[in-house]
């Protein structure tokens, strides 16, 4: 069984603050949580070392970059042993932004972002379905994303 790092309420408060604004100064968090900036720094480093915090990223609005089509594709492979090679080929497709190895109806479930339906058609036919390991696909086009959030610390 995987051992999870232990965090306390201060760690959770720091995580919530960073998840809301990753650029918040440690001094500001220290004042808010009534601790020293050094304490905040030590806690953040502890969470980085234990891989609770795995990075800092810029979140972009895909619509404003022209990505108007978001879809999810269930992929069935020819055989389970094809998983690793299929994933390597999917990594080469810029349009694939997430991939999951799943149980149930599909072997792999991916999230794809495209500029248009025409581009989606091209990606499906000429890229994704051209992968030898792919037996079949099912595409679900997203109409909206009403919930998009991180897990609660």
Paired residues of 140 in beta bridges = 72
**Domain 9-49 is found in CATH 1.10.10.10:** yes
What residues contact residue 21 under an 8 Å CB cut-off, 6+ apart?
none
pLDDT in tens, the chain (153 residues): 677 889 999 999 999 999 999 999 999 999 999 999 999 999 999 999 999 999 988 889 999 999 999 999 999 999 999 999 999 999 999 999 999 999 999 999 999 999 999 999 999 999 999 999 999 999 999 999 999 988 999
Whether pTM exceeds 0.75: yes
Paired residues of 137 in beta bridges = 75
What residues contact residue 146 under an 8 Å CB cut-off, 6+ apart?
none
Fold of 62-141: Alpha-Beta Plaits (3.30.70)
* H-type alpha helices, 21-150: 26-33, 37-49, 83-91, 117-122
Q: Where in the chain is the domain with CATH 1.10.10.10?
A: 9-49
Q: Where in the chain is the domain with CATH 3.30.70.920?
A: 62-141
């Amino acid at each position: 069984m995987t051992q999870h790092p232990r965090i306390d309420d201060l760690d959770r408060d720091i995580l919530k603050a960073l998840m809301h604004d990753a650029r918040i100064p440690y001094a500001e968090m220290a004042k808010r949580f009534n601790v020293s900036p050094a304490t905040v720094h030590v806690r953040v480093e502890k969470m980085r070392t234990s891989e609770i915090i795995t990075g800092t990223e810029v979140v972009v609005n895909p619509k404003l970059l022209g990505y108007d089509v978001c879809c999810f594709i269930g992929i069935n492979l020819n055989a389970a042993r094809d998983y690793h090679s299929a994933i390597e080929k999917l990594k080469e497709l810029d349009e694939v932004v997430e991939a999951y190895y799943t149980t149930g109806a599909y072997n792999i479930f991916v999230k794809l972002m495209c500029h248009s339906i025409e581009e989606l058609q091209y990606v499906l036919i000429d890229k994704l379905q051209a992968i030898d390991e792919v037996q079949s696909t099912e595409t679900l086009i997203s109409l909206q994303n009403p919930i998009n959030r991180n897990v609660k610390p």
